[in-house]
Amino acid sequence: MTTQAISNPAPGFGATLSRLSRQREYGVLALLLLTIFAVSLVNHSFLAGGNIRDILVSSVPAVIVACGLTLVIVMGEIDISMGALMGLLATVMGQLTTPAHANLPVAVGIIVTLLLGAGIGLINGLLVAYGRMPSIIVTLGMLTVLHGVNLTLINGHYITDLPAGLRFFGIGTFLGIPISLWVTAAVVILAILLVRQTPLGRRIYAAGSNPEAARLAGLPVRNLKVFVFMLTGLLVAVATVVSVPRLGVIESGIGQNFELVVVTCVVVGGTSISGGRGTIIGSVLAALLLGVISPMLIFLRLGESATYWDRAIQGAFILVAVLIDHVARSRRGTH
C-alpha cells in the first residue's frame, strides 16, 4: 500500500488530465459556452445576431484549415507554411482577376488558386514522405520561400478593385447566411465523413498511431502523408477564396501569424502532438473558442491592451494543451 502510494502520489490529478485528453472536445465546448455566457452577462450586446455572425465569419479560415492540419498532426507531422501560403495565394488570386492586372475570369482565378494551394501542399508532402526530411524544416523553408515570392509579386503595392464575382465569395449570402459559412460547413462535414466513414480516414489514424506497424500491415504510409499535406494546401486555398475577398484590399500582410492560430486550434482541440489521436470536431470547437477571444476582450472594454491579452491567452491555451497531452502519454506509457 505504502509503496503504491509513493510511486503514484497524485493519481487523481493524472487521471483527470488523462480523461481531459481523451474527451477534450467536451472540455472545449464547455469552455466556449461558459465564455459566451460570462461575457454576455457583462455586456448583453455580445449575443446580438450581427456580432455572432461576425465571430463565425472571422473564424472561417481557421476552421477550414484546421480540418486539414488535424490530419497532418495525426500523422505525426506539422505544417507551419500555411500563413505564407495564404498570403501568396491571395496575391496570385488578386493579380489574376483584377482589371489592373491579368483581368482573367473569376472562375479561372479561383481554379488556379486551388490548384496552386494543392500543388504546394503536394511539394511539402513529397519532401517529407519521400525526401525523408523533418516536416518542421520543410515547411519552415517553404514559409520563407513563399513569403519571399509574395513580397516580390506584390512589390509593396495594394491590390484593389476586386471583381464583384470574387467579392461575392467574401460578402455574398445565400438564404441570409454568408457564403463563407456554407463553404465552411461543407468542408467540416466532408472532413468528418472522411475520417469516420472511409477506409482512407481509418488508414490515416492507423498510420499516425504506429507508423512501423502500419508499414508492416501494408499501409502506404508515405502516400498518406503526401495526401494530408496536399489536402491542407488545398484547404488553405479554399480559406483564401472565401475570406480574403471580404477584406476588399489585398496586401502583403495577409496570412501573417495564421499558422500559429491554426496550430493552436488543433492542439487545444485535443489532437496529440505525437500523432495518432485527434478529432475534426475538437479542432473546429477550438477554432470557434479562439475566434471568441478577440471580440470578448473588446466587449470587456480592455482597450488597447486587448491585442496583447489575445496573444497571451492563445499561448496559455497551447501550454495547457501540451501539458495535458504530455501527462496523458506518460500515464499510458506506465500502464
Q: Domain holding 242: CATH number?
A: 1.10.3470
Does 333 map to a domain? no
Q: Which three cell numbers stand for residue 256?
A: 501573417
Does 95 map to a domain? yes
How many whole angstroms separate alpha carbon 146 and alpha carbon 86?
Answer: 9
Whether 10 has a pLDDT exceeding 60, the answer reads no
Does 234 map to a domain? yes
User: Which pLDDT score is estimated for 17?
Assistant: 45
pLDDT band at residue 297 under the 50/70/90 scheme? confident
Whether 320 has a pLDDT exceeding 80, the answer reads no
How many whole angstroms separate alpha carbon 299 and alpha carbon 45?
Answer: 8
Contact 166, 93 (CB under 8 A): yes
pLDDT band at residue 13 under the 50/70/90 scheme? very low
> How many domains is the chain partitioned into structurally?
1
Does 106 map to a domain? yes
Contact 178, 50 (CB under 8 A): no
User: Which pLDDT score is estimated for 329?
Assistant: 60
Q: Which residue has the higher pLDDT, 300 or 258?
A: 258
10 Å CB burial of residue 64 (0-12, 13-18, 19+) is: buried
Does 79 map to a domain? yes
Does 22 map to a domain? no
Does 10 map to a domain? no
User: Which pLDDT score is estimated for 46?
Assistant: 74
Segment 141-160 shows an average pLDDT of 93
pTM: 0.87
Q: Which residue has the higher pLDDT, 42 or 84?
A: 84
pLDDT band at residue 119 under the 50/70/90 scheme? very high
Residue in the structure block whose three cell numbers are 480592455: 302
Segment 46-67 shows an average pLDDT of 88
Domain that holds residue 108: 59-267+277-324
Does 182 map to a domain? yes
Q: Which residue has the higher pLDDT, 50 or 90?
A: 90
Most confidently modeled of 203-217, 221-235, 309-323?
221-235
